[in-house]
Amino acid sequence: MPKSVLDAIKIGLWDFEPKEMSAAEYERTDAMPGTKAKLSVLADRVRCGLPLWHPDDRDELDEVSPAGESFKPNKPR
């Protein structure tokens, strides 16, 4: 059985799904969506055979205040 979707593709297994895992089994990321840091985390997850998304991953962008300063809005989880 392949470890990751990349291994599965190499052997022609096109319907591979990673094993289900609880969120406690892998790390969340605070990297902002669309950044190189976020893409790097997602690529690492694929290579390791982990689920692509963690329920506690950051999912909002920084906002700019009227003064032009960047800040992270508080979002209840």
- Would you write out the chain's pLDDT as a tens digit for each of its 77 residues? 888 888 998 999 998 888 888 999 999 999 989 899 999 999 999 999 899 899 999 988 776 556 655 656 555 54
Write down the residue that tokens 């609880």 correspond to.
22
Looking at residue 55, its pLDDT comes to 94
Gap between the Cα atoms of 56 and 8, Å rounded: 27
Strand-pair partners of 64: 70
Is residue 40 assigned to a domain? yes
Is residue 21 assigned to a domain? no
**Residue type, position 31, single letter:** A
Is residue 17 assigned to a domain? no
Is residue 9 assigned to a domain? no
Q: Domain of residue 65: give its range.
A: 28-77
> How many domains does the chain divide into?
1
Question: Where are the strands (E) in the chain, listed by range?
Answer: 63-64, 70-71
Is residue 20 assigned to a domain? no
